Structure 1
Amino acid sequence: MNLKQSFLIAIILGFIGLAAWEMYWRSKPDYYKANLEDDRYLWAEHRAKVESATDKDIVIIGSSRTAFDFNTHVWEETQGIKPINLATDGKPPLVFFEDIVENTNFNGTLILGITPLLCFSPGVEQRNLEAKIWVNHYHNQTYAQKLGFWVSKPLERHLVMLTSSELEFYNDLDLKSLLKTIHITTEERPDNRFKLLKFSANDEDRNLMMFPLMVTKPEFAEKVQNVWNSFLPHIPDYEIIKDGIPTVLKKYEVAAKKFQERGGKLILIRHKAENGWNKHTKRILPKSMVWDKFVQQMNCPAYHFENYDFMSKPTLPDWSHMNAEDSKTYTKALVNKLIEDNLLQKTN
């Protein structure tokens, strides 16, 4: 057999292997879907829209609750304007808020979704550093990086085996994630790894949509709940961390004041959390000591899920995020409430 034939056989076998690998993961549609990875590249594409946004436009920032709980398509159907969705899974909104205030002239409406433990706890500095990586990528991205993202889009849209995330979910399909699932457990070396499963897929407007199995298979949702339970009880009480909170609140206040002085409108949204999560929030960041002071300092309209039936009505499968259908109902109700309160203008 000559070298040319060997090379051809290797290509054919490689193609068959990749096809079999892809078909295997496609046989699990409840767990995996082909979609653009919600990474710094996709975020940067949407961040660029803020540069030309007007005072009529809306920008949404926040962490994963905001990304799951709002649906920008329903928002557009209800109000007539599609928001620019800059919510980020696993990252606090402060760095993104400061970026918009300091590096753009945007003076429209900014929706700031709040997850207290990811916004106000002094221990989230590492998450802020990760957010800065995204912001720095947007401002410093090269033409080669833009071209690479453009080339990768068709592949990500159609190949399930490319499922991955910068957050490194335990069930991602990239080689690095698969290798991490291999672990030798002994009595001296127990398996105490952080095993957060990916339980959603995003569309190209960066709406995070929870997989239906989180509702239909409670045992899967319980695996996610167990991850929250693995660290929430160990976060220190308010009395231990309280001295660091005013500094965090002040950073938000400074950005808010500058944004409002140039005509921007800011609206705070405190999304629902079930008791399994919220009991820890109340222990770590009591509402009267943190949220109430935060709202006062920000000097803007604020909506807390405990004050509105439509905000507290959905049941959250993992205690922290809405399923895809509830997010549509929630978005419509909230947009109508903001229109009713003259904070948004209906254009359709």
Structure 2
Amino acid sequence: MHSSTSNSDSGQLAGFKREVPTKPLFSLVWLAMAASFVIFIGIEIHARNSGVVPSRANDMIFWNNHRLLLDDTPKNTTVLAGASRITFGFDLDTWEDEVGNRPFNLGLHGASFIPMLKDYALNTEHNGIIICSVAGGFTFADSNAFFVERIGKAVDALEASRRSITVRGHGLTAELLQARFAALNVDAYSPIQILRDTFRPSPRTNERAMFFVPYTYRHTEDNQDMFVVDFSDPFHLQEWDGMHKNVLTYLELGKPRTARSVVDQITTYIETIERRGGEVVFVKFPTSRFMKDWEDRRFPRDKYWDIIIEETGCRGFHYLDNTNTRDLFPPDGSHLLPLQAKVFTRELVKFVYPED
């Protein structure tokens, strides 16, 4: 009787034996890398021909890295704080040409200037001018609103961001790659944006779009936003209108703060900055269409802007008070086009540095 191991005879196993094939592993790796490179170059060429430009991702990791750069700037650097109106409406090149130094833009989409002012006062020794954009819906938003908490948490976690390998590593790779290649423009090449651009859906009754900013602008390395379209295409305006109406829906969920409650909060920060020799300047950027109607109704000038200026004693530049800015009409309702931003910035320079 055969044992249970009799099947292990070499003669019987010979038919199941197979040599491990030898393949040019490194050649395959190089071939795959070369193919990927060619595909990437093809996408880059297509992107450039389609008008897509390199753009940094406009997210909190970018803002965290950008904020940390402020610590290495001269103490008298002009700093900008506020929501997206200041990233679109303030032209850094124009200010630099007129004044001789380049401002540092801390602006963030959907953010209040208040946490930024607090950070500037308490976490830096800077003694220059900080220009704060007063955007009613964000400046006077309820403190529990998610976009208010977002910037507040980012400011409170600055030291954690400074030590974070993820945050710092992302900043380095994005600076080397994303800032240079249009094919890495996450807004232009996101699946959602590609589908919307391809099929161009019409808005439905009471539709509220998901919270995203359509690809119609570029976000630069120094945190400036510039439209790459002129809104002659109605679809671009439709997308921004949908996004803005969505934002207003969130803003209306909470009861807005009073101007005096904001003054009570920021007075200490202003005094701290002024003791160092610095100055706080408030600015009101142009609005239009339904955005202007909404702000005028919800945040009338005499009950908000005028009180901020009167109670703090700070200088304030309101676009309606200047003959060259009062007629600026942001097509999307809230953000200036590049040429409009240059006009606004030149007038702001004249206000901040009046000729003797």
Check 1:341–1:271 CA distance in 2 against 1; reply closer, same or farther (3 A cut). Answer: farther
TM-superposed CA distance for 1:48, in Å, is: 4.1
Check 1:43–1:193 CA distance in 2 against 1; reply closer, same or farther (3 A cut). Answer: closer
Check 1:175–1:137 CA distance in 2 against 1; reply closer, same or farther (3 A cut). Answer: farther
Alignment of 1:91-240 (within 5 A): 91-122=111-142, 125-136=145-156, 138-140=158-160, 141-142=162-163, 144=165, 145-164=167-186, 171-174=187-190, 192-194=208-210, 196-211=213-228, 213-232=229-248, 236=252
Give the unaligned 5+ runs of structure 1: 165-170, 343-348
Alpha-carbon distance in 2 for matches of 1:179, 1:14: 24
Deviations 1:120-165 (CA, angstroms, capped at 9, x unpaired) = 121663112221344355422237343442233221133223223x
- Is the 1:34–1:157 contact (alpha carbons within 8 Å) kept by the matching residues of 2? yes
Larger Rg: 2
Alpha-carbon distance in 2 for matches of 1:294, 1:110: 15
Secondary structure at the counterpart of residue 269 of structure 1: strand
TM-score by length of 1: 0.79
Mean Cα displacement is larger for which, 213-222 or 113-122? 213-222
1:256 aligns with 2:256: no
- Is the 1:110–1:265 contact (alpha carbons within 8 Å) kept by the matching residues of 2? yes
Check 1:130–1:243 CA distance in 2 against 1; reply closer, same or farther (3 A cut). Answer: closer
Amino acid at match of 1:196: V
Alpha-carbon distance in 2 for matches of 1:133, 1:243: 20
| Count of matched residue pairs | 326
- In structure 2, the residue matched to 1:84 is 104
Alignment of 1:59-78 (within 5 A): 59-78=79-98
Deviations 1:26-68 (CA, angstroms, capped at 9, x unpaired) = 3321xx2113334445545553454355564311111111111
TM-superposed CA distance for 1:341, in Å, is: 6.5
Taking only the aligned residue pairs, the percentage that are identical comes to 17
TM-superposed CA distance for 1:73, in Å, is: 1.3
TM-superposed CA distance for 1:209, in Å, is: 1.0
TM-superposed CA distance for 1:88, in Å, is: 1.8
- In structure 2, the residue matched to 1:335 is 349
Alpha-carbon distance in 1 for matches of 2:217, 2:158: 24
Alpha-carbon distance in 2 for matches of 1:2, 1:197: 50
Alpha-carbon distance in 1 for matches of 2:76, 2:31: 59
- CA-atom RMSD, angstroms? 3.5
Mean Cα displacement is larger for which, 141-150 or 262-271? 141-150
Check 1:142–1:49 CA distance in 2 against 1; reply closer, same or farther (3 A cut). Answer: closer
317, 323, 348: which one aligns with 1:303: 317
Mean Cα displacement is larger for which, 264-273 or 290-299? 290-299
TM-score by length of 2: 0.78
